[in-house]
Structure 1
Amino acid sequence: MTDTVSFGYEDVAPAEKTARVGGVFKSVASSYDLMNDAMSGGMHRLWKDRFVRRVGPRASEQILDMAGGTGDIAFRMAPSGAAITVADINPAMLEVGMERAQKRGIDGLVWTEANAETLAFPAKFFDAYTIAFGIRNVTDIPAALREAHRVLRRGGRFFCLEFSTTLWPGFKEVYDAYSHKMVPKLGQLLAQDADSYRYLVESIRRFPDMPTFEAMIGEAGFVRTRVEPLLGGLVAIHSGWKI
């Protein structure tokens, strides 16, 4: 790990990033759906549906949904009958998820506070590892990918849904203008927090492009890595297998 890491457009010490990201998600936890709607124009719901179809959860499987505090991915996987552990470093996000699960009558999920870089789960325990819109907020991404590989069984699968950079000419410029100018204003309007939304936009711009991140997944030990771009790469589904 380097001496500094990105926090939006700033370069900060790793411990500072961890603390500041924690503050961001504590601030936006109660407005999580609004945040994602603002970031994606509401399309995050369709992307998550597609993501879960790609994961293909099955009954009796053990699945770790990392950075999944508010339950969006776990709720979609729950009907499969898989045993799902929802892990998040931020207790405020977990509280929102547990409240949402209770309101929806979804039982059987395991909720736990955990750091993606240093998981307490035993090796070779899970059949699948999912992380949606969370990996770019991790301080040490290679460490988190290595941990994902460690806790998966042989034949286990890794799936990550994350914003990236669209390659469609014209659309990239439109989305850049929208996200930089409008999303912080929407954050202020909807959650009285422009700064957190500004960080979230900037964190997308600092995240590795699709080929670079795919290579990072391979370096963590995964094989048969694949990238499925959505909207030309505005969002991408990354996957890999442990053998």
Structure 2
Amino acid sequence: MVVSVMVGILFFDVEKEGENLAPIIEGEIPSNILFGSIDSLSLNITDEEMGGLTVTATLDGNPIQDLMDAGGNLVIDISELEVGSHVIKVDATDSLGQDSKWTTVFIIEYPDEGFTVIVVSSNEIFVERGNGTTVSGVLVHQSMETCELEWSDGNVDEFSLNLPYDEDGRFDLEFSDIQENLTISVRGTCGVWVDSSETEVFNITVTEPAEEPEPARGCTDPEANNYDESAEEDDGTCTYDED
């Protein structure tokens, strides 16, 4: 700033030197970062005397090896960081010993992949003893190529039988000659970064075949006096006129 000072009839222009402030540390670091979306973060450190700056920086407590350029730009490599919370701390000291500290916390997270879903029409199936049935459904996930479908007819924690499904996620599991009640569990597991799973349990209940009603008995001879047209089995009771 220039200040005019009048002494007698003379004017002298006196320039007031600018105040030397502490270093300025700036950086727009997102609070949440998708895993694999970016490889580095940038900071900028400025001061009236850049040559006199002493800068130390850490990432999760470890010294940052990346060098700051002459313009005060510091690029921090985060390509090897795992999912979770991370902390960057920067300490800048100028030639006058003025100190500035800067800290930021950011989280690296996996993209949202949605949920694994198994759609079925019914979990309760009834079948006559000795007959067969089919357990069907549709596996749904936004990354179907990552999915695995398994089934078990016993312990729900012991899935060892692979269950194929088509390009639309449809599956059919056929059973024949069923003699006893069955509990069938089907589990789908999908995900690129984080696995999600869903299990559907099908209860197959065996029923006894319905007993066929006994045939109606009566006289089945149309020539008889007591012919019974509703009779299905002749009971020997037909009567006839004597000649």
Of structures 1 and 2, the larger Rg is shown by: 2
Smaller-chain TM-score bracket: under 0.3
TM-score where L is the length of structure 2: 0.18
Pick the structure with more strand per residue. 2
Pick the structure with more helix per residue. 1
Where relative contact order (Cα < 8 A, 6+ residues apart) is larger, the structure is: 1
TM-score where L is the length of structure 1: 0.18
